[in-house]
Structure 1
Amino acid sequence: MIKVLARSIREYKRLSIITPILITLEVVIECIIPFITATLVNEIKGGCGLNTIIKYGVILIIMAFLSLLFGAVAGSTSATASSGFAKNLRKDMFYKIQEYSFENIDKFQTSSLITRMTTDVSNVQNAYMMIIRIAIRAPLMLIFAFVMAFVMGGRMAWIFLVVAPFLAIGLGLVIYKTLPLFRKVFKKYDALNRSIQENIKGMRVVKSFVREEYEKKKFDKAAEDVCADFTKAERILALNGPLMQFCMYVVMVFVLSFGSYTIITSRGLDFDVGQFSAILTYNFMILMSLMMLSFVFVMITIASESAKRIVEVISEESTLSNPENPVYTVKDGSISFENVSFKYSKKAERMALENINLEIKSGETIGIIGGTGSSKTSLVQLIPRLYDATVGVVKVGGVDVRNYDLKALRNQVAVVLQKNILFSGTIKENLRWGNKDATDEELIEACKLACADEFINQFPKGYDTYIEQGGTNVSGGQKQRLCIARALLKKPKILILDDSTSAVDTRTDAKIRKALKEYMPETTKIIIAQRTASVEDADRIIVMDGGTINGIGTHEQLLAENAIYREIYISQNKAGA
C-alpha cells in the first residue's frame, strides 16, 4: 500500500525530504535552548556580570530566531508537499478511472469513487503532512529531550520510561477499537453520497411526484448512520486526551516534588536551580512530544482506511486491455458475431446474450427491435468493446475486436447511447467531442444532417450557446440531435444509434435517417428503436427476445413471418387483426 501511495509523491519528493531535515534542525536548537538557559541561571546565581548575561541573551535570541525560521520554512514545505501529494493522488485516481471498463465502474459505483477522490484523499493528505512534519518532530523531540533530561536530571528522567508503556498500551487499544469503526464509516459515506447523487440527478422526478419529504427522510437516515458510527469512533479516540493529560500530570507532580525535595535538602549540592528549570522544560517537551505522537496515531488511524480505499482504485486493473501487438487500422464497417454469449458479471446466474450468430456487411443499415430487457443495448456494446464477450468472438472489419487498439477501434465506432450526455460548455465545444479539429462549416453540416441546425439558429447566441451541466437547458429531443451530430463528426465506419431518436417526432426521425443514408453510404448504421417506423426502411431488422435473436429479415418478411415483430407493429399502428 505504501509503495503505491509513494508513487504519487513524484515532484514533491524533494520537499518531503527537506521538511524532516528542517524539523531536525528546529528540534536540535529547541533542545539546546533549555540547556543554555540553565547555564545562564547558574551563572546569575554565581554572581556573573552584565556582559555574561548579554552574551547568553544574544545566543538565546539567535537560537530562538533560527528555531522559528526552520519551523516556519518546514511548515511551508510540508504544506506544499502534502497538497501536491493530494493533487497527484487525485490525478492518478482520475486517470486510472478513465482506463476502467464499464465492468470496473460497476464494481466501485460512482458515489464511492467520488468519496474516495474527495474525503479519502483529504484524510491521507492531512496524515501525510503530519507524517513528514509532526511524526518526525515528535520522536526526535522525545529522544533529544529525554537525553538532555537524563544529562541534566539523572535518575529523575527514568519516570518517563515508566509512563511510556502505559501510554503505548492505551494508544494500542484505541487504535484496535477504532479501525473497524472507520471502515464502516467510509462505506456509509458512500451510501450518503449515493443518496445525494440520486436526488440531485433525479430532482425533476422528485418534484413531479412530490417526494421531497421521502428524500429528506432517506438522507436523514444516511446522515444519522454516518454520525452514529463517527461519534462512536470519536468517543473512543477522545480517551486519548485524558490518558495523555493523566500521564503529563503524574510526571509533572513527580518532577516538581522530587526536584524540590532534592534542592531543599542537603542533596541540593549536586542538583541546582538551573538544572531544575531545565528538567521542567524538558519534561514539558517530552510530554508535548507524546501528545503530538498521539495526534499522529489518531490521524493515521483515520487515514489508514482511506489509504486502502485509494489504493484499491489505483491498483484496479481494467478488465479490458490492449493486446501486445494491437491492430490500429479498421478496414471497413463489417461486423460478425460468432457463437457469442455474454453476461455482465462472473457471478451472474444467467447470460444477457446467448448463442448470437450474426453477419453484417459494411455499409448496411441494420435495425434492432425488441421488448424491454431483450438485450438490444447489450448486443451493440460488444462492438466498440465496452464489454468483452464471455463466450465466442466479435469481429469488426474481419478482425477480433480484442486484437484492436482500443482507441483505434472506438474512434471508428461512434455510439449515441440510450442515455444522452452533454457537458457544460458551448454547443461548439460539445460537438467537437466528435472531432476536436472540426471547422465551423463541418459543425453546421453535421447539425443539418441531425436536424439540429434548425433549433440552434433560434438561440440568440447560436452555436456559442452555453449548455448547462447534463444539458438541462435543452429538451430531450434537442439533446438527442446534438449527440447524433457529435457522433457524425467522427465520420466513423460504424454508427450505432441506441434508441437515440425516441424523443424526436416521427417526421424528424425520418429526415435524420434519410440524411444518414445519403451522407454516409459506406458507414454501417445500427439503429436500436422501440418503434417500427424507425427501422422499417432498414436493409435488415433484427428482432431480439430474452437475449437471443428471434428473427432477422426485412420489414415485409418479419411482418409476414415473425410473431413478435408483427405484434409490435400492430400495437403501434392500431392495425386490424
Structure 2
Amino acid sequence: MLNRLLKEHLAPYSRAVTAVVLLQLVQTLATLYLPSLNARIIDDGVAVGDTDEIMRLGAVMLAVSLVQVAAAVAAVWYGSYAAMGFGRDVRRRLFAHVQTFSARELGQFGAPTLITRTTNDVQQVQMVALMTFTFVIMAPIMLVGGVVMALREDAGLSVILLVAVPVLGIVIASIVSRMIPYFRVMQKRIDAINRVMREQIAGIRVVRAFVREDREAQRFDDANRALYDTSLRTGQLMALMFPAVMLVLNLTSTSVLWFGGHRVSDGTMQIGQLTAFLSYLAYILMAVMMSTMMFVMFPRAIVAAGRIGEVLETQTSVLPPVAPVPLPADPAQRGRLELRGVEFRYPGAERAVLEDVDLVVEPGRTTAIIGSTGSGKSTLLNLVPRLYDVTDGQVLLGGVDVRDLDQRELWSQIGLVPQKPYLFSGTVRSNLEYGAPGADDDALWHALEVAQARDFVEAMAGGLDASIEQGGANLSGGQRQRLAIARALARRPRLYLFDDSFSALDYATDAALRAALVPQTRDAAVLVVAQRVATIRNAEHIVVMDAGRVVGEGTHAELLATNPTYQEIVYSQLSEQEAA
C-alpha cells in the first residue's frame, strides 16, 4: 500500500522527483571525488613540496565542494516541495473520501481512528517520503560509488567490506523484523487515546455530574500506559540498533587501520591512499546508517499506509446513481414523499429495524410520526436523505426513487433538523448560511423569528455576527435547537424533516414555534418525529409506530378513539381531559 500511495500521489511531482534524483547524483559524485583529490594532494603535492600542485588541486576541491553544497540545498528544496505536496494531497483525498461515507461506514471506523488516520498516519507516510528524497536516493549511490572508489584505491583492503556490509544487513534486518508488530499496535493505541480523550471532552458535564473524574482519569491513564509500554519496547529496539551498527562500523574502521598501517609500513600503500580508503569506508558506512534510519521509519509508515488504504478502499454503501433521474418540474410534486414496503436492517442484526412501512407525506400537510423508544422513527427519517439506504422497498421523492436522484439535488430539496442539533464554530450568520449560502440579513432574521430565536440572538453581542463556539457550547440546549431549526428554515426546502427537534423547548416556546411554522411551511411537506404528544396533536396526519411497523394512521381524535398504542402514549403524558 505504501508503494501505491507514493506512486499515485507523487505523479504530479514527477519533475521535482527527477530533479532530486539528478541533484543527489551530482552531490554524491562530488562527495566521492573529494577524498581522491585529497589523496593526490597528500601523495603528489605535500610529499614532493609542489606548492602549485597543492593550490591547483585545492582550487578544484573548493569548486567541487561548492557544487556539492549547491546540489544538496537544491535537492532538499525540491524534495521538501514534493513530500509536503504529497502529504497535502493524501490528506485531501482521505478527507474527501470520508465525506462520501454513509452513517454505516462512519460507525464502522469511528471518529477517533478516522482523525488519527487523516493526521498522524498521513504524517508518518509523508515523513518517509521526505526521508526518501533526503537519504534513500543518496544512500545506494553512495554505497555503490564508495565500494567502487575503495576498490580503486586498494582492492586488498576491500575484502573487509565483504564481511562488514553483510553483517550490518543481518543486524538491521533482525531488529526491524521485531519492530513492525509493535508499530502496528502503537497506531491502535493512539486511536484508543484519541477515543478516550474525545469521550471525556464531549461528556465532561456527565463526568462531573456523576463525580467520575477519578474513573475517567484512570481510563486515560490505562490507555496512556498501554501506549507507553508499546512505545518503550519500540524505543528499546531502536536504541539497540544504533549501538549494534556503530559496533560493526568501529570494528571495520579498526580493521582497516590495522591492516592498512601494515601495508603503509611495507611500502605497498601510500598514506594518501589509506586516508582516501578510510573516507570511502566512512561514506559506505554512512550510506548504511542512512538506510538504517529509513529501516526504522519504514515499518511504521507501512503500517500507517495500510490503515490509510483501509479507509480509501472502503466504499460507501450509499452509492450515487449511474444515470441520475431529475425531479419533476412541477414544484408541488417535488416535496411529495412516499415510502413503499420499506424494510431496513443494520449489518449483522438479527431482525429488521423497519418492516413493511408504507407512508405518504403530501406537500402542504404536516405528517407526524410517534412511537415508543426504539420503534424505528429516527431510522425511518434517516432513509429519506440517504444517510442509510433501504434494504428492501423504495423511498420516493417527487415520484422518483431517492437512489436514482443526484445526491446534491436530493439534499437541496430537504431541510433536516437532526435529533442532536450541531452548530459549527463561527458566528450565528455562518451557521445559518450553512443552510442558505448567500442569504441576506432579512431572510436570516426572518428564519430566526420563525424559530423563536430572534430575541436571544439580538441580545448577543454582535447579533448575527455573534460568536458561536464549536458545537454551540456557549449556548443552551434550547438555543442550539432553535438555531438548528432556523438553519433549515433559511434554506426554504420542499421537504422539512424534524427529528424530535422540539424536545429541548418549553411548552410555550414549542407552541409559538409550531404556530409560526404553519405559514412558513404551507407549500412544503413536513415530516415530524416526536416523543411529545403536545407537539404533534394538531398534525393533519399522525403515524403510530411500534417495533418497526406502522400500527396506526389518522388524526389525533381518530387515533385516540381507535388505536391502543396511541392511547397508551397519550395517557402516559396527558390526562383524559387534556387529551381530548
TM-score by length of 2: 0.96
Aligned-pair distance for 1:11?
4.2
1:526 counterpart SS class: strand
Tell me the alpha carbon deviations over residues 115-140 of structure 1, each in whole angstroms, 9 at most, x when there is no partner: 11111111111111111220111111
Tell me the alpha carbon deviations over residues 458-491 of structure 1, each in whole angstroms, 9 at most, x when there is no partner: 2231111111111011111111111111111221
Aligned-pair distance for 1:326?
0.3
Tell me the alpha carbon deviations over residues 308-336 of structure 1, each in whole angstroms, 9 at most, x when there is no partner: 11122223222112212102335422222
Q: Hey, what's the Cα distance between the residues in 2 that align with 1:312 and 1:325? A: 28
Tell me the alpha carbon deviations over residues 383-408 of structure 1, each in whole angstroms, 9 at most, x when there is no partner: 11111001111111111111000110
Show the counterpart of 1:73: 74
2:505 counterpart SS class: coil
Q: Within 5 A, what are the aligned runs for 1:226-241?
A: 226-241=227-242
Matched, 1:310 2:308: yes
Q: Hey, what's the Cα distance between the residues in 1 that align with 2:453 and 2:11? A: 47
Q: Hey, what's the Cα distance between the residues in 2 that align with 1:229 and 1:205? A: 31
Q: Would you say the 8 A contact 2:367–2:526 is kept in 1?
A: yes
Q: Hey, what's the Cα distance between the residues in 2 that align with 1:212 and 1:68? A: 57
Number of aligned residue pairs: give it.
Answer: 573
1:130 counterpart SS class: helix
Show the counterpart of 1:145: 146
**Range that drifts further, 410-419 or 309-318:** 309-318
Show the counterpart of 1:339: 341
Distance 1:320 1:306, change over 3 A: same
Show the counterpart of 1:259: 260
Q: Hey, what's the Cα distance between the residues in 1 that align with 2:569 and 2:506? A: 19
**Structure 2 counterpart of 1:189, one-letter code:** I
2:198 counterpart SS class: helix
Q: Hey, what's the Cα distance between the residues in 2 that align with 1:446 and 1:45? A: 90
**Structure 2 counterpart of 1:131, one-letter code:** T
Show the counterpart of 1:57: 58
Aligned-pair distance for 1:5?
4.1
Show the counterpart of 2:292: 294
Aligned-pair distance for 1:409?
0.5
Matched, 1:84 2:85: yes
Show the counterpart of 1:279: 277
**Structure 2 counterpart of 1:529, one-letter code:** A
**Structure 1 counterpart of 2:281, one-letter code:** N
Q: Hey, what's the Cα distance between the residues in 1 that align with 2:7 and 2:96? A: 17
**Structure 2 counterpart of 1:490, one-letter code:** R
Q: Hey, what's the Cα distance between the residues in 1 that align with 2:11 and 2:327? A: 36
Q: Would you say the 8 A contact 1:368–1:528 is kept in 2?
A: yes
Q: Hey, what's the Cα distance between the residues in 2 that align with 1:574 and 1:164? A: 89
- Any stretches of 5+ residues in structure 2 without a counterpart? none
Q: Would you say the 8 A contact 1:27–1:137 is kept in 2?
A: yes
Matched, 1:414 2:412: no
- Any stretches of 5+ residues in structure 1 without a counterpart? none
Q: Would you say the 8 A contact 2:436–2:491 is kept in 1?
A: yes
Tell me the alpha carbon deviations over residues 364-396 of structure 1, each in whole angstroms, 9 at most, x when there is no partner: 211111122111100011111111001111111
1:73 counterpart SS class: helix
Distance 1:374 1:5, change over 3 A: farther
Q: Hey, what's the Cα distance between the residues in 2 that align with 1:494 and 1:42? A: 91
Q: Percent identity?
A: 36
Show the counterpart of 2:124: 123
Distance 1:562 1:406, change over 3 A: same
Tell me the alpha carbon deviations over residues 221-241 of structure 1, each in whole angstroms, 9 at most, x when there is no partner: 001111111222222233221
Q: Would you say the 8 A contact 1:328–1:409 is kept in 2?
A: no
Q: Within 5 A, what are the aligned runs for 1:417-432?
A: 417-432=418-433
Show the counterpart of 2:245: 244
Q: Hey, what's the Cα distance between the residues in 2 that align with 1:398 and 1:45? A: 96
Distance 1:411 1:271, change over 3 A: same
**Structure 1 counterpart of 2:343, one-letter code:** S
Aligned-pair distance for 1:61?
1.3
Aligned-residue RMSD, C-alpha: 1.6
Q: Hey, what's the Cα distance between the residues in 2 that align with 1:4 and 1:145? A: 32
**Structure 1 counterpart of 2:280, one-letter code:** Y
Distance 1:316 1:17, change over 3 A: farther
Q: Hey, what's the Cα distance between the residues in 2 that align with 1:146 and 1:5? A: 30
Q: Within 5 A, what are the aligned runs for 1:376-395?
A: 376-395=377-396
Aligned-pair distance for 1:10?
5.1
**Structure 2 counterpart of 1:417, one-letter code:** P
* Dislocated runs of 4+, deviation >6 Å: none
Q: Within 5 A, what are the aligned runs for 1:347-362?
A: 347-362=348-363
Q: Would you say the 8 A contact 1:9–1:88 is kept in 2?
A: no
Show the counterpart of 2:136: 135
Q: Hey, what's the Cα distance between the residues in 1 that align with 2:512 and 2:142? A: 78
1:552 counterpart SS class: strand
Distance 1:417 1:181, change over 3 A: same
